[in-house]
């Protein structure tokens, strides 16, 4: 294959900024082009590492040790000037002055930590909303797509091996599914810039997408349970897998499916 995805497209893919049509085109190309798949994975890992580094709080190194050293130096200087028993009132005053300064500094640090935690909470909420939107958009795009899924089979022994070499992780498919639920097909896709297995199920007359990714340090999907664009979303996490299920089926039936898939990973 001579044509490859451009750098702007790869960046937009890693950032989750492609439209549904662009995403479908990119996923189709990635399913046939190992070179672009490798580049897309590199961009995803790079952006993930950069984002984590940018959000990491780095207080002044050894702040408490430096404050203690300054206090010891001040007391040592006073002792050398006045002797151990001289001017106790002055020394006491200086000591309380230092104590007040330390207290003010600790209050400042406390305020900074509160602001930092609020910022992290706001960032997590934004990431949560973006993840829910992207998962729903991909599910809708799959249902509306003119082209068939990349692998069409209800046999777990056919679906699972198809992903070998296409994902940096492995997963298990349950042998038994809830009543009225069948595995229909699967796709290789990207969610939040990460390579993902999209498993397509029928739950009665409803369709469900279950996205499986390699477990990461991000916890935004874990415990995700919400409604978005008329769909229910349920997030789960196992020892090796991060997962998200999306469907307009009854939430209890979706949770049953998630529970069985999650249990299969163990």
* Least confidently predicted of 2-6, 73-77, 161-165, 197-201: 73-77
Indicate if the pLDDT at residue 231 is higher than 60: yes
- 48 vs 15, 200, 262, CA distance in Å? 10, 27, 25
Q: Specify the pLDDT at position 245.
A: 94
Q: Does 59 score more than 80 pLDDT? A: no
- Quick: pLDDT tens for 66-101: 767 777 776 676 666 655 554 544 455 555 555 555
Confidence of residue 122 (pLDDT cuts 50, 70, 90): very low
In angstroms, what CA-CA distances link 11 with 43, 53, 124? Answer: 7, 18, 21
Which residues are bridge partners to 227 per DSSP?
232
pLDDT score recorded for residue 118 = 39
pLDDT digits (tens, 9 = 90+) for 174-225: 999 999 999 999 999 998 888 999 999 999 999 999 999 999 876 655 556 6
Would residue 103 count as lying in a domain?
no
Quick check: helix, strand or coil at residue 179?
coil
**Could you tell me if residue 94 is inside a domain?**
no
Q: 134 pairs with which residues across the strands?
A: none
Place of tokens 């163990």: 266
Q: Is the pLDDT of residue 18 over 90?
A: no
Domain assignment present for 92: no
The answer to whether residue 133 sits within a structural domain is yes
What pLDDT is recorded for position 51?
A: 59
- Lowest-confidence segment of 39-43, 135-139, 250-254 by average pLDDT: 39-43
pLDDT at residue 93 in the model: 52
The rounded mean pLDDT for the chain is 77
Q: How far is it, in rounded angstroms, from Cα 122 to Cα 124?
A: 5
- On whether residue 76 sits in a domain, the answer given is no
Q: CA distances (Å), 187 to each of 82, 193, 217, in order? A: 80, 15, 24
Q: Which of 128, 134, 119 is nearest to 219 (CA)?
A: 128
Q: 39: helix, coil or strand?
A: helix
Residue 117: burial class (beta carbons within 10 Å; 0-12, 13-18, 19+): exposed
Among all chains, which residue has been given the structure tokens 């040592």?
A: 76
Query: What confidence score (pLDDT) does residue 90 get?
Result: 46
- Integer Cα distance of 145 and 42 in angstroms: 27
| β-strand partners of 206 | 203
User: Is the residue at 208 inside a domain?
Assistant: yes
What is the domain range of residue 139? 7-55+120-265
Q: Is residue 128, in this structure, part of any structural domain at all? A: yes
Integer Rg of the chain from CA: 27
pLDDT of residue 47: 66
Look at residue 121 in the predicted model and tell me its pLDDT: 40
Which of 104-108, 197-201, 224-228 is least confident? Answer: 104-108
C-alpha to C-alpha distances, 31 to 23, 83, 187, nearest whole angstrom: 12, 80, 9
Length of the chain equals 266
CATH number at residue 257: 3.30.200.100
Higher pLDDT, 163 or 134: 163
Helix (H) or strand (E) holding 245: strand 241-247
Percent of the chain past pLDDT 70, that is, above it, reads 66
Is residue 156 within 8 A of residue 170, CB to CB? The reply is no
| Mean pLDDT on 127-150 | 82
Which H/E stretch holds residue 264? helix 251-265
CA dihedral of 211, 214, 220, 224, whole degrees rounded to 10: 40
Half-sphere exposure of 29 (CA within 13 A, CB side): 21
How many domains, in total, are found in the chain? 1
Q: Is 47 inside any structural domain?
A: yes
């Amino acid at each position: 294959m001579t044509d490859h995805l451009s750098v702007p497209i790869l960046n937009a893919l890693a950032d989750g900024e492609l439209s549904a049509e662009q995403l479908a085109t990119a996923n189709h190309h990635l399913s046939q082009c190992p070179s672009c798949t490798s580049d897309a994975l590199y961009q995803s890992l790079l952006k993930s590492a950069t984002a984590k580094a940018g959000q990491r709080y780095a207080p002044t190194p050894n702040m408490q040790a430096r404050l203690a050293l300054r206090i010891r130096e001040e007391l040592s200087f006073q002792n050398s000037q006045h002797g151990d028993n001289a001017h106790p009132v002055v020394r006491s005053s200086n000591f309380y002055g230092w104590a007040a300064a330390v207290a003010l500094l600790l209050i400042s640090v406390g305020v900074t930590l509160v602001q930092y935690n609020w910022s992290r909470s706001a960032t997590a909420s934004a990431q949560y909303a973006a993840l829910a939107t992207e998962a729903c958009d991909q599910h809708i795009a799959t249902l509306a797509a003119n082209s068939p899924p990349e692998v069409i089979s209800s046999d777990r022994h056919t679906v699972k091996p198809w992903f070998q070499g296409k994902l940096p992780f492995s997963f298990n498919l349950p042998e038994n599914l809830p009543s009225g639920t069948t595995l229909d097909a699967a796709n290789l896709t990207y969610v939040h810039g990460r390579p993902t297995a999209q498993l397509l199920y029928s739950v009665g007359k409803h369709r469900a997408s279950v996205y499986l990714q390699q477990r990461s340090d991000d916890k935004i999907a874990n415990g995700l349970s919400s409604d978005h664009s008329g769909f229910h979303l349920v997030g789960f996490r196992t020892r090796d897998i991060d997962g998200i299920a999306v469907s307009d089926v009854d939430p209890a039936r979706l949770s049953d499916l998630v529970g069985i898939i999650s249990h299969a990973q163990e």
